[in-house]
Structure 1
């Protein structure tokens, strides 16, 4: 780390998407300015997950020495909860002592000054740790500018207008959100965590802490979300916001899966340009048997080439993430696999970044996680929406209605952290969505390609994100204690 004199300490939420984004953000900052290094403190989940294989793959891969991963010891929390936002916040809070001890050790290294914390939106309790060490704290918001603005807007409605935001779950009332051109139908886009009074109060109290940090980094770019960013820079009453994206992963982890990766890429090499629809639903994405059958029927009826990442749900009543099926025939049957052998492939884990950037991929059926949306847009691939949890219903609305880069399969499907979906999406709806997605002259396809070019330009020297990143780095250097 010769020449690096300032250390940023990153604390991501213990979720794969959050960790991947944090690693890439740390790489972006430290590659831009050689005076800065990064240490990422990784909170251990109380069960095995893809985070473990991802961190193992990073540790075994020669990389830049200026980003260091530190695995915190597992904390016995004593509480039993389902995987949820509340669970994540509780787990992070239980790790405050471990974080404090790790920072104390890092502070003793005389060759480098700690420049501050960069924390995840679910790690706001770490503002207290920053204050304890008299260090500035910055927020890295891993979702988009529109959702950041939306939750700040809801928090203002609650605090300044005494509005009960939980009422939105049962109403078709439309909300005029200043960051969007169109009003949003509340019961379709408000996250499930805001449907219950206790969790809504806790979540929006967490949002209040956003106003106490020294700056907010958002994984987006000015040309993608001009209206939401205008709101964030003004009426949202937030600290300075730095849109520095699209920050994308070079890989989706997957551990030692080179053989599977190579097989998939070889199959794609043999398909015509933009002919394949790719279905993948993130690290938490899985379906019951009935829903899997509806998807299979729809895929066969469309006649389009397909690549389907199909994962097995965790066992009911247990904490865990989806895993690969040991035998896909057991759920799909030999008949389906035989009939579609020349048409498509069904796989488990998928190297999503590489697949989306392959020229044969022409559409992406997605859960609408923000990382996945950016990866798709960076490659100029339009999407079909199938959100499941967290802010994904809101993202789906933005992608379809506001940005015009996606078509709708569904926008209000919900499957929060291990629970069954709230309804069955039937094969005709899936078939319709995929056929619309794969139209070669669709406006959503043209818009996706346009935004792909704008995203690359934003990251280039002189681009909007390049300039905002430079401003953030200067702020870090100027405010180092």
Structure 2
């Protein structure tokens, strides 16, 4: 009996990373019957949306999900340090789970053989664990090829200058990067943490990437050809752009059916959708400016509002029971004919609706790929992480977005004064976004068609996925 090539997936427990890792696992087993996948689920209570999602996953058809034992870790010291601790504290549980898997295979309980690890970008220390089992590691990068290229560039600049890298903060300077046609302003670069120990963790993470056997990236050649090209210099493991990999299934509930009914009543491409991701929220000053802009512009809108976490708390935004207490007096009443304010949003369902004409987005990579999939142009309003760089690429490099801001930045759970984007700025961005015959809209429609072709037989992502599977099979350890 031929043994299946078993890949162990270790996604990071953050909804954007987890969902795309699971979708890739499904894609692999669907594509090739020689592959089976075990997804190790890290159980931490960082993100409330994860529990529902994890509970909806069921092992079937060559994919099994194993929940690792709950490990507590301190969350003082901010998000970056928490990420580091989550990964470090799960090295032992991962070893034990994989040992159990290989024992089952050796006892013949299982017709599979461990073929490699597929680990999240944040989990690169797990490469050492894979080495102990004598199998290759592949990294799964759930963000853009552009962000990967820039991060690796920053890491090598840091190392060449013995850690004395130019400080990339608040400077008017620009970085010339092979991955971008335009010079990149420092203020859209991913922030390297100030704290030395966390900074060391990030630099190490990136350095370790170079030891991997290959890197899967959720993007496609035709969207990011320059960035992908810049990563094939022989210094970096082979890249497999296999995207867009997106989860198009959303649970329909009472809440989302009322949203869809409202959209059904709106004219085609007339509604602007404002949604800032699972961590996105604003304080009252900024919320007021958005409300003012929407009211003044007279546009139809669907706006997701979440309650910001208490000051200084590393928590996720929550849904609120009464929008009125957060919005200007009488706003909901005055805009009742043209607008709808909601809490949680079934994003893919909304983006796929004919009434949606534009998306004011935090530019998270999954949201960006969804927007491309449905051909909806974006107005950029990034928040955290690498979203500023995504916004820059969408506006300047790929011309698929209009700018509200590219360098807006919030600190996750931080107790700091919020930078406020004025109603005027927002209105200008919205008008540019909703123009009927703007070039952005046309290019987004073209990219939508390409994004659907690349994953079908003969498409670039389809071919790269096949190549990745061949590499996994060919690199299987022969000595077990």
TM-score by structure 2 length?
A: 0.94
Unaligned runs of 5+ in 1: none
Q: CA deviation at 1:166?
A: 4.8
Selected match of 2:308 from 313, 327, 333: 313
Q: Supply the distance in 2 between the matched residues of 1:311 and 1:34 (Cα, whole angstroms).
A: 43
Kept in 2, the 8 Å contact 1:149–1:179? The answer is yes
Counterpart of 1:22?
Answer: 21
The residue that corresponds to 2:253 in the other structure is: 258
Aligned length: 471
What corresponds to 1:416 in structure 2? 411
1:22 and 1:85 mapped to 2: Cα distance? 21
**Among candidates 468, 474, 477, match of residue 478 of structure 1:** 474
1:299 correspondence with 2:297 = no
Deviation at 1:197, TM superposition (A): 4.7
The Cα of 1:388 is off from its aligned counterpart by 0.7
What's the counterpart of residue 247 of structure 1? 245
Kindly report the root-mean-square deviation, in angstroms, between the aligned alpha carbons of the 2 structures. 1.9
Confirm whether residue 31 of structure 1 aligns to residue 30 of structure 2: yes
Indicate how the Cα distance of structure 1 residues 64 and 437 shifts in structure 2: closer, same or farther if over 3 A, else same.
farther
Measure, in 2, the Cα distance between the counterparts of 1:231 and 1:48. 34
How far apart are residue 423 of structure 1 and its match?
Answer: 0.8
Hey, what does 2:367 align to over in structure 1?
A: 372
**TM superposition shift of 1:415:** 1.0
User: Are the counterparts in 2 of residues 118 and 137 from structure 1 also a CA contact under 8 Å?
Assistant: yes
Provide closer, same or farther for how the CA distance between residues 177 and 129 of structure 1 changes in structure 2, counting only shifts above 3 A. same
- 1:273-422 correspondence runs (5 A): 273-332=268-327, 335-419=330-414, 420=416, 422=418
Paired position in structure 1 for 2:172: 172
Distance 2:225 2:420 in 1: 35
Match of 2:108?
none
1:209 aligned residue: 208
Which blocks of at least 5 consecutive residues in structure 2 are unaligned?
A: 106-110
SS in 1 for 2:207: helix
Deviation at 1:3, TM superposition (A): 8.3
Cα shift at 1:86: 2.7
Greater mean alpha carbon deviation, residues 199-208 or residues 219-228? 199-208
What is the 5 A alignment of 1:169-208?
A: 169-186=169-186, 188-195=187-194, 197-208=196-207
Q: Secondary structure at the match of 1:148?
A: helix
Secondary structure in 2 matching 1:52: helix
- 1:185-230 residue CA offsets vs partner (Å, 9 max, x unmatched): 11x1122234555433331221010100110000000000111111
Q: SS of the residue aligned with 2:237?
A: coil
Task: Assess if the C-alpha contact under 8 Å between 1:364 and 1:383 holds in 2.
Answer: yes
The alignment partner of 1:308 has SS state of strand
The superposition leaves residues 222-263 of structure 1 with CA deviations (integer Å, 9 ceiling, x where unpaired) of 00011111110116x10100000011112366xxx6111211
After the TM superposition, which segments of 4 or more aligned residues of structure 1 sit over 6 Å from their partners? none
Contact residue 248 and residue 371 of structure 1 kept, 8 A:
yes
Q: Counterpart in 2 of 1:431?
A: 427
Q: Distance in 2 between matches of 1:468 and 1:137?
A: 17
> 1:85 deviation in Å?
2.8
TM-score by length of 1: 0.94
User: 1:440, CA displacement in angstroms?
Assistant: 0.8
1:55 alignment partner, SS class = helix
Larger displacement relative to structure 2 (44-53 or 225-234)? 44-53
Q: Which residue number in structure 2 is paired with residue 140 of structure 1?
A: 140
CA distances 1:74-132 after superposition (whole Å, capped 9, x unpaired): 1122x332552331121111011111111111112222112111001110111111011
Aligned to 1:221: 220
Partner of 1:68: 64
Mapped to 2, the partners of 1:212 and 1:163 lie a distance apart of 20
